[in-house]
Copies of this chain bind each other. A is one copy, B any other.
Amino acid sequence: MRVRTNRGREDLRAIWMDGAVVTVIDQRELPRKFKTVDIKTCAEMAEAISDMTVRGAPTIGAAAAYGMALAWKAGEDLDKAAKAIKATRPTAHDLFYAVDLMLSKRGDDLVKAAGAYADEIVSKCKAIGEHGAPLIKGGHRILTHCNAGALATVDFGTALAPMRLAHRAGRKFFVYVDETRPRLQGAKLTAWELLNEGIDHAIIADNAAGHYMSRGEVDLAIVGADRIASNGDFANKIGTYEKAVLAKENGVPFYVAAPVSTFDFTLTSGSGIVIEDRSQDEVLLVNGRRVSPEHSKALNPAFDVTPARYVTGFITEKGMFKPGEFSSLRKVG
């Protein structure tokens, strides 16, 4: 991703390894401050995952792989290292997958193996960008929700990848960024990525997306996905369902960008997806300050499920698929 630093404009990943040091973009400080952190031991990496210096499932996976590489380089006990990393975010699927992959390569050069793992994430995202970019025409006004960007996926992003590639190909377009309450990942992270890439955009309250669609001022919506069922129902950040319904009502094409690994073919439909309820404080407080009455409570579902009928197409690294056309993916997935 392009990042404007005090050295000018650089092309950076969310995480990378150079010699004996892994460097990560400190996501806790964004968008207020751009800062990188150098990580030299597996223990430091476990801490960076745990305290959310790095976030986003694919980026956490890469961080776990690099953490194992640091342990290997220092001659540490790999089983102990694996245990330490797995203890950081016990529900992160990619983290477990990456650690076990590194353990399975015991005896190989784990610095190379971790680098290859991160490269594969990046090349999938870039391929998503290449398959999705032709959807974006000059003058388009695109809606996106939450942060399905490079910070979360080492580089390029999923929903943001087609925008990056269309922009780099010289097309001029505009992005409405849903602020994405309660955690404001749109206002904080997506806006930061678009600003650094030089893509024209404006942050809107989540309430305003429908307004612009109803006036015919949105040409296209692209979002990410956390999990996609066999029938095309998908789970993503809370609010995605609302935007999908509004897109259909207003004839706005609605695309989901995600790698094939997001498909869960053990699920026949979205009704099997359990929705995580998060802390009430994410709604009741903003930036640590209470906005609501002292004794009011809140409900805070983190995700919602959007039925496949609202989706125009799924943009994957293997190309574009409509709901009901996943049989070829099932083989490669």
Q: A181-B206, A304-B214 are in contact. Are A188 and B291 (CB under 8 A)?
A: yes
Known contacts A179-B283, A203-B292; A299/B208 CB under 8 A = yes
Of the candidates B203, B211, B237, B294, which one forms a contact with A283 in the assembled complex, judged by CB atoms under 8 Å apart?
A: B203
Given contacts A211-B238, A286-B287, A289-B287, contact A205 B191 (CB under 8 A): no
Contact with A210, one of B181, B201, B295, B304 (Cβ below 8 angstroms): B304
Contact present for B203 and A181 (CB under 8 Å): no
By secondary structure, the A interface counts as mixed
Contact among B206, B241, B287 with A287 in the assembled complex (CB-CB below 8 Å): B287
Interface-lining segment among A35-43, A154-162, A242-250: A242-250
Q: Are B241 and A298 in contact (CB under 8 A)?
A: no
Cα-based distance from A284 to B195 in the complex (angstroms): 14
Interface string of A278-306 (1 = CB under 8 A from B): 00000110110111111111111100110
How many chain A residues have a CB neighbour from B under 8 Å?
Answer: 56
Contact call B289/A208, Cβ cutoff below 8 A = no
- The 26 listed contacts between A and B (C-beta, < 8 Å) are A31-B292, A31-B293, A31-B294, A31-B296, A32-B290, A181-B181, A181-B207, A192-B296, A201-B297, A202-B296, A202-B298, A203-B298, A203-B299, A204-B299, A207-B242, A207-B304, A208-B239, A208-B300, A210-B242, A211-B301, A212-B299, A214-B241, A214-B305, A245-B246, A246-B246, A286-B286
